[in-house]
């Protein structure tokens, strides 16, 4: 494809990059008028405030050459990449075959410098194609990428973005549904190269905890941490997400971080012992219960890309134990019987969480299908787990519901995790929403909740469910130590809703899909489950009153914290504390403040 695509210092792209530098004296904010309102916007390529060649050269020198021009993953399949810095010939048959094969794979996308695993918020541009004469543009992918390999690189990137008022994106794995890892015209700092892992049997840091712990760099993924924990003698385990490719030291704990061990230990955020972070002023800080304790609280569930960039995180680890998993699959054409089965299954959500059981399921994917894989009993024998789920199977039998099921016991939870949780894909385009159903809602309105499920599926949405309670195994005295919504401590059934839509669909179609997600699909769940909440990493960011939905009574403190640690808005992620005045105007491109 040519090294000049990736090396800022090689070729004519640099000239375009610094073309407006002589007008930099006009200031860092750009005035725009949109839909009858006035805005002050971040600085973008083509604006008078965009940094000039000497500034970019100086930054790249500080970064030891790790500043790159961003190119969409699919560019090798096209004759020409029509980028904002100029047109470049890009076709390469071997590279095209490689990206075509890998595009739907999470780990392939994760290892790219600035890709989003799900493409809707990239404007779905420049996907792999068999027609090289198709058009490949940058879309809403970032313009430039810093592949950070040192703390100094991250600091330099933050400082440069702050001083020049650039839109800044922090990316580790790109594993988010809401487009927070990409952004039109932005500068990305990629932290995935921070892969260090260390362990201790006796934590000696702040907080009074003296048990075992793991310390990981920003780029470490769940599967790698779990692999290494399992290799210890005796084996250990930690709270991670359900998906093994998720990074465990960035957006996951900042959103909370739920997974199969949440019933036993709470969120990943609840197990955090310490963070090493770089704040908006470019300063490397330690945040724990004694040092910058307010920041430590906010980083534990207070919102991704909100207060600081996590460089390193330390978490509690736990002894691994034998565990049992059960699978259940219901696939029937009889609509009445299918929904009776779904009602029975949903009605046992409280029984499951009250017994410390975690459940992952998919509803309506591929037809009238309820696929439950797995029902997890951490530390349970097959007999113990089967006794807990027996009332569900007895009710299914009484209804005459045909189903397939299996039970398997594993030597450790790690073995269950690796053996029963299916691999997820990437590269698809969709809008994502969701709602978490409270225990009180299940107890009082199971029938209404299932009616809401019917509304979700009838409107073209898919559903992914996770049955857990973040307060079951965590002492009540620990609940308020993290910033996650207190309503999650009384949760029972967390749902993700998914409406497939192309990122490059006509604007009217995209608006219609967003309206359907917000005001039909997710609203049905909210109305049926009023004691619930929304999980910030897996929900509709445009949900009305998102402050209350995502953080409940914790929001005022989080807003105050944001004003303290990032008053200028160096960091941005949609619908996180302190972003009320920010909008992406001009069809989701420029990030601006309404005047």
In the numeric block, the tokens 């929001």 are attached to 555
Alpha helices in 283-438 (DSSP H): 293-299, 335-347, 349-354, 382-399, 413-420
Q: What percent of the chain is modeled with pLDDT above 90?
A: 94
Instruction: Give the tokens for residue 160.
Output: 């440069």
Q: Are 60 and 111 in contact (CB under 8 A)?
A: no
Using CB atoms within 10 Å of the CB of residue 315, give its burial: 0 to 12 exposed, 13 to 18 middle, 19+ buried.
Answer: buried
In 10 A of CB 437, how many CB atoms? 29
Q: Are 147 and 92 in contact (CB under 8 A)?
A: no
Q: Are 566 and 306 in contact (CB under 8 A)?
A: yes
Does residue 381 register a pLDDT over 70? yes
Distance (Å, whole) CA 532 – CA 350: 14
How would you label 134-143 residue by residue, b for 16+ Cβ within 10 Å and e otherwise?
A: eebbbbbbbb
pLDDT, tens digit (0-9, with 9 covering 90-100), for 245-255:
999 999 999 99
The backbone torsions φ and ψ at residue 528, rounded to the nearest 5 degrees and listed phi first, read: -80, -20
Give the C-alpha distances (Å, rounded to integers) separating 59 from 84, 105, 210: 20, 33, 42
Q: Please compute the mean of the pLDDT values over residues 486-497 and round it to a whole number.
A: 98
Instruction: Give the tokens for residue 77.
Output: 């399949």
| Residues 361, 367, 373: CA angle, nearest 5 degrees | 20
Does residue 244 register a pLDDT over 60? yes
Q: Please compute the mean of the pLDDT values over residues 203-213 and round it to a whole number.
A: 95
Instruction: Give the tokens for residue 587.
Output: 């069809």
Residue 227, CB-side half-sphere exposure with 13 Å CA sphere: 8
- Give residue 476's pLDDT: 97
pLDDT, tens digit (0-9, with 9 covering 90-100), for 408-443:
999 999 999 999 999 899 999 999 999 999 999 999
Does residue 261 register a pLDDT over 90? yes
Q: Please compute the mean of the pLDDT values over residues 383-402 and round it to a whole number.
A: 98
* pLDDT tier at 27, thresholds 50, 70, 90: confident
| Residues 178, 183, 188: CA angle, nearest 5 degrees | 110
Q: What is the DSSP letter of 211?
A: S
pLDDT, tens digit (0-9, with 9 covering 90-100), for 119-172:
999 999 999 999 999 999 999 999 999 999 999 999 999 999 999 999 999 999
Q: What percent of the chain is modeled with pLDDT above 70?
A: 96
Distance (Å, whole) CA 580 – CA 587: 18
Distance (Å, whole) CA 202 – CA 186: 42
In 10 A of CB 427, how many CB atoms? 20
Does residue 538 register a pLDDT over 90? yes
pLDDT, tens digit (0-9, with 9 covering 90-100), for 268-325:
999 999 999 999 999 999 999 999 999 999 999 999 999 999 999 999 999 999 999 9
* pLDDT tier at 196, thresholds 50, 70, 90: very high
Does residue 532 register a pLDDT over 90? yes
pLDDT, tens digit (0-9, with 9 covering 90-100), for 438-468:
999 999 999 999 999 999 999 999 999 999 9
Distance (Å, whole) CA 412 – CA 418: 10
pLDDT, tens digit (0-9, with 9 covering 90-100), for 281-295:
999 999 999 999 999
* pLDDT tier at 332, thresholds 50, 70, 90: very high
Mean of pLDDT over the chain: 94
Distance (Å, whole) CA 505 – CA 496: 22
Using CB atoms within 10 Å of the CB of residue 313, give its burial: 0 to 12 exposed, 13 to 18 middle, 19+ buried.
Answer: buried
In total, the chain counts a number of residues equal to 595
Distance (Å, whole) CA 272 – CA 479: 13
* 122 CA to centre of own chain: 15
151: left (phi over 0), alpha (psi -120 to 50) or beta: alpha
List, in sequence order, every residue forming a beta bridge with 327; answer none if it has no partner.
406
Does residue 9 register a pLDDT over 80? no
Q: Which residues touch 397 (CB under 8 Å, ≥6 apart)?
A: none
* pLDDT tier at 17, thresholds 50, 70, 90: low
Give kind and range of the element (H or E) at residue 431.
Answer: strand 430-438
Q: Please compute the mean of the pLDDT values over residues 562-573 and round it to a whole number.
A: 97
pLDDT, tens digit (0-9, with 9 covering 90-100), for 84-110:
999 999 999 999 999 999 999 999 999
- Give residue 4's pLDDT: 34
Q: Which domains are assigned to the chain?
A: 3-190 (3.30.43.10), 197-319 (3.30.465.10), 323-547 (3.40.462.20)
Tell me the Cα Rg of the chain.
Answer: 24
pTM for this model (two decimals): 0.95
Distance in angstroms between the alpha carbons of the first and the last residue of the chain: 43
How would you label 331-364 residue by residue, b for 16+ Cβ within 10 Å and e otherwise?
A: ebeeeebbbbbbbbbbbbbbbbbebbbbbbbbbb
- Give residue 6's pLDDT: 36
Q: Which residues touch 43 (CB under 8 Å, ≥6 apart)?
A: 28, 29, 30, 49, 50, 164, 165, 166
Give the C-alpha distances (Å, rounded to integers) separating 80 from 1, 61, 115, 141: 10, 29, 19, 17
């Amino acid at each position: 494809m040519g090294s000049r695509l990736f090396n800022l210092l090689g070729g004519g792209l640099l000239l375009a990059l610094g073309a407006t530098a002589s007008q930099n004296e006009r200031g860092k904010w750009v005035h725009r008028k949109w839909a009858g309102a006035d805005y002050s916007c971040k600085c973008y390529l083509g604006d008078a405030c965009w940094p000039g060649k000497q500034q970019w050269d100086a930054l790249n020198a500080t970064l030891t050459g790790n500043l790159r021009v961003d190119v969409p993953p699919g560019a090798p399949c096209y004759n020409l990449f029509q980028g904002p810095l100029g047109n470049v010939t890009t076709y390469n048959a071997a590279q095209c075959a490689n990206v075509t094969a890998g595009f739907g794979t999470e780990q392939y996308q994760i290892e790219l410098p600035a890709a989003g695993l799900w493409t809707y918020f990239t404007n779905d541009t420049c996907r792999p194609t068999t027609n090289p004469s198709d058009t490949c543009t940058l879309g809403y992918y970032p313009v430039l990428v810093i592949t950070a390999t040192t703390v100094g690189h991250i600091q330099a990137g933050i400082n440069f973005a702050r001083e020049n008022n650039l839109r800044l994106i922090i990316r580790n794995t790109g594993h988010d549904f809401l487009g927070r890892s990409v952004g039109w015209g932005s500068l990305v700092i990629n932290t995935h190269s921070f892969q260090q892992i260390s362990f201790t049997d006796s934590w000696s840091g702040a907080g009074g905890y003296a048990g075992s712990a793991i310390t990981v760099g920003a780029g470490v993924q769940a599967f790698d941490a779990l692999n290494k924990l399992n290799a210890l003698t005796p084996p250990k385990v930690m709270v991670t997400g359900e998906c093994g490719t998720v990074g465990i030291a960035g957006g996951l704990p900042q959103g909370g971080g739920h997974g199969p061990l949440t019933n036993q230990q709470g969120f990943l955020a609840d197990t955090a012992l310490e963070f090493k972070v770089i704040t908006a002023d470019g300063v490397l800080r330690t945040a724990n219960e004694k040092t910058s304790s307010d920041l430590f609280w906010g980083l534990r569930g207070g919102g991704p890309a909100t207060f600081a960039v996590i460089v390193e995180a330390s978490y509690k680890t736990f002894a691994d134990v034998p565990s049992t998993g059960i699978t259940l699959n219901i696939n029937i054409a009889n609509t009445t019987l299918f929904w009776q089965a779904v009602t029975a299954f949903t009605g046992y959500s409280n029984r499951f969480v009250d017994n410390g059981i975690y459940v992952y399921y998919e509803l309506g994917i591929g037809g009238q299908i309820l696929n439950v894989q797995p029902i997890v009993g951490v530390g349970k024998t097959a007999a113990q787990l089967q006794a807990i789920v027996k009332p569900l199977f007895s009710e299914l039998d009484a209804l005459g519901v045909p189903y397939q099921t299996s039970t398997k016991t594993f030597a450790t939870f790690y073995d269950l995790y690796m053996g029963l949780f299916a691999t997820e894909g990437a590269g698809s385009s969709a809008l994502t929403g969701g709602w978490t159903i409270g225990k009180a809602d299940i107890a009082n309105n199971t029938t209404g909740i299932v009616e809401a499920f019917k509304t979700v599926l009838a409107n073209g949405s898919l559903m992914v469910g996770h049955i857990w309670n973040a307060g079951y195994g965590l002492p009540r005295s620990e609940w308020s130590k993290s910033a996650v919504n207190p309503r999650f401590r009384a949760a029972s059934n967390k749902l993700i809703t998914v409406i497939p839509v192309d990122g490059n669909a006509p604007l009217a179609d995209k608006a219609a899909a967003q309206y359907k997600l917000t005001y039909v699909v997710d609203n049905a769940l909210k109305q049926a489950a009023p004691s619930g909440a929304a999980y910030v990493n897996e929900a509709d960011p445009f949900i009305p009153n998102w402050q209350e939905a995502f953080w409940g009574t914790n929001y005022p403190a989080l807003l105050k914290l944001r004003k303290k640690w990032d008053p200028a808005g160096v960091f941005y992620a949609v619908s996180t504390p302190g972003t009320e005045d920010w909008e992406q105007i001009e069809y989701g491109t420029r990030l601006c403040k309404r005047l």
